[in-house]
Amino acid sequence: MHPEILPRPAPITHDEYRARRRALMDRLPADSAVLLPGAALVTRSRDSEFPFRQDSDFHYLTGFPEPEALLLLLPGREAGESVLFCQDRDPTLEAWTGIRLGAEGAVREHGIDQAFENAEREARLAELLDGRHALYLPLGDAEALALAEEVRGELAGRARRGAVAPSAFADVSERIHEQRLCKSEAELALMRHAGAISARAHVRAMRTARPGLMERQLQAELEHEFRWQGGSGPAYASIVGGGLNACVLHYIENHDPLEDGALVLIDAGAEFDLYAGDITRTFPVNGRFSEAQRALYEVVLAAQERAVAAVCPGVTLATIHEGVVHDLTAGLIELGLLEGDVEARIDDGSYKRFYLHSTSHWLGLDVHDVGAYRLEGQPRTLRPGMVLTVEPGLYVPAAADLPVAFRGIGIRIEDDVAVTPDGHEVLTAEVPKRVADIEALMDRN
């Protein structure tokens, strides 16, 4: 029987996309322009391509879903400040790859001020950018830079006929990234949904797990649920690591059998309307934690719950991470995996043998989302609308100097958390993480 389908949240409106473009333009000089290419199709092998995924910055400003598009923002231009170039309508190609919106469709369906098809790009681009002194573009994108150079060369060549070429190129990416960092209500609704879908998928994997299944079969359960609920698929390569594979942070082969008595670590999240969920749960393949597994798990869980509880406006990710490092180190000492004093083991870095990643990252259109972590050399403080993960873990190497019972155990627990005006909201609370709740969910008697 198929599970209930969660109601879809509303998509981002044209007005919101327009307001985002306005906000970006308002922070740029009047005689500047923005040049931002969308993503292109990428060949997978011979005639097949990777599924198309729009560039996140381009999507954030347009919502336009096709490859090979280009956005120009021309502050103050009377004929329209937002200009889009898009794929040409072409009945023969459309018979193979689907309807293209074309210039008219881009204006009609996406609220862009003016659009042209790519056949007109060469002729129109220089004319549109004539007189714009600074050109803002993603400086890290070689193709965007080459295009900007081409336009500058063309306008410079026409200088004696009165054309004015841009005299400076500046980076637009960082500005867009700062805008993306605090999510709107509509974005939060989409992220809540990505979180809820991802949570359902993890519950489904817990219900299905048993010794003898392949890691990949749990991956199939997760990804079935992502798509069944209307997501486009995983937001990043799903990690399903049984036993020692859980200690490989980015293990994505998922090709081993799940063994009786082992834990399995699943780090997987759905993408919904391009927004990412990002959940990790670790649970026993056979539904019951061993004593050592439970002891280590409780250390990670307590650190994770305390870190989630600390999320609120005004605190920093650095402070949250420090709290986690403290709690994990104290737990490692208690379990005999480290010796001595907590502060000493933090200071000499010996905890890093078991915990080598950071506790949080921003989450949004990208799983490791954009936005600076530090401002003027200092960790930035959290503000309402920011969304982050909280994901402590402990990974015990299978090394001869460590207690046998703990060797090869890898545990991570990860939730997605939005900062609210008076605290936080956990977007992924629907999947259990307490030992008793996991064991009850997996109990097949």
The residues binding ligand GLY (CB under 6 A) are 236, 267, 278, 361, 367, 391, 414
Q: Applying CB under 5 A, does 81 fall inside the site for Mn ion? A: no
Query: Which CB, 273 or 414, lies closer to ligand GLY?
Result: 414
Tokens encoding 75: 């502050």
Query: Which CB, 67 or 234, lies closer to ligand GLY?
Result: 234
- Whether 136 and 172 have beta carbons less than 8 Å apart is answered as yes
Shortest distance, position 189 Cβ to Mn ion, whole Å = 21
Of the candidates 4, 47, 291, 376, the residue annotated as catalytic is 47
Shortest distance, position 349 Cβ to Mn ion, whole Å = 22
Is 321 among the residues known to form the active site?
no
Of the candidates 20, 275, 395, 424, the residue annotated as catalytic is 395
- Whether 367 and 328 have beta carbons less than 8 Å apart is answered as no
Shortest distance, position 390 Cβ to Mn ion, whole Å = 9
Q: Which is nearest to 281 in space by CA: 331, 231, 235, 222?
A: 222
Sign of CA dihedral 123, 124, 127, 129: negative
Residue 83 CA to residue 71 CA, distance in Å, equals: 6
Q: Which is nearest to 197 in space by CA: 227, 221, 171, 153?
A: 227
Torsion of CA 83, 87, 90, 92, to 10 degrees: -170
Is 193 among the residues known to form the active site?
no
Is 368 among the residues known to form the active site?
yes
Shortest distance, position 362 Cβ to ligand GLY, whole Å = 10
Query: Which CB, 141 or 278, lies closer to ligand GLY?
Result: 278
According to CB under 5 A, which one of 278, 327, 369, 415 is a site residue for Mn ion?
A: 278
Report angle CA 279, 282, 285 to the nearest 5 degrees.
130
Tokens encoding 200: 């359902």
Shortest distance, position 431 Cβ to Mn ion, whole Å = 13
Q: Residues in contact with Mn ion, total (CB under 5 A)?
A: 4
Query: Which CB, 358 or 381, lies closer to ligand GLY?
Result: 358
Query: Which CB, 119 or 252, lies closer to ligand GLY?
Result: 252
Q: Is 401 helix (H, G, I), strand (E, B) or coil?
A: coil
Phi and psi at residue 300, in whole multiples of 5°? Answer: -65, -40
Identify which range of 80-88, 265-273, 397-405, 423-431 contacts Mn ion by CB under 5 A: 265-273
Query: Which CB, 66 or 278, lies closer to ligand GLY?
Result: 278
Residues whose CB is less than 8 angstroms from the CB of residue 99 and which lie 6 or more positions away in sequence, other chains included:
none
Sign of CA dihedral 401, 403, 404, 409: negative
Can you tell me which residue has the tokens 């994770």?
Answer: 304
- Whether 298 and 367 have beta carbons less than 8 Å apart is answered as no
Q: Applying CB under 5 A, does 389 fall inside the site for Mn ion? A: yes
Q: Cα 43 vs. chain centroid, distance in angstroms? A: 23
Strands (E), 179-262: 233-234, 239-242
Shortest distance, position 419 Cβ to ligand GLY, whole Å = 18
Which does residue 236 touch among Mn ion, ligand GLY, none (CB within 5 to 8 A, set by kind)? ligand GLY
Q: Applying CB under 5 A, does 267 fall inside the site for Mn ion? A: yes
Is 78 among the residues known to form the active site?
no
Shortest distance, position 367 Cβ to ligand GLY, whole Å = 6
Binding mask 404-443 for Mn ion (x = CB under 5 A): ----------x-----------------------------
Of the candidates 117, 221, 225, 267, the residue annotated as catalytic is 267
Q: Is 442 helix (H, G, I), strand (E, B) or coil?
A: helix
Of the candidates 391, 415, 416, 424, the residue annotated as catalytic is 391
Residue 222 CA to residue 234 CA, distance in Å, equals: 9
Bridging pattern class, strands 82-86 and 114-117: parallel
Bridging pattern class, strands 32-37 and 134-137: parallel
Query: Which CB, 46 or 250, lies closer to ligand GLY?
Result: 250
Of the candidates 412, 415, 416, 424, the residue annotated as catalytic is 412
- Whether 135 and 129 have beta carbons less than 8 Å apart is answered as yes
Query: Which CB, 240 or 367, lies closer to ligand GLY?
Result: 367
Is 47 among the residues known to form the active site?
yes
Q: Applying CB under 5 A, does 254 fall inside the site for Mn ion? A: no
Of the candidates 57, 187, 278, 369, the residue annotated as catalytic is 278
Of the candidates 66, 141, 215, 414, the residue annotated as catalytic is 414
CB hemisphere CA count around 241 (13 angstroms): 23
Which of the residues are catalytic?
A: 47, 250, 267, 278, 357, 361, 368, 391, 395, 412, 414
Interface residues toward Mn ion, by CB under 5 A: 267, 278, 389, 414
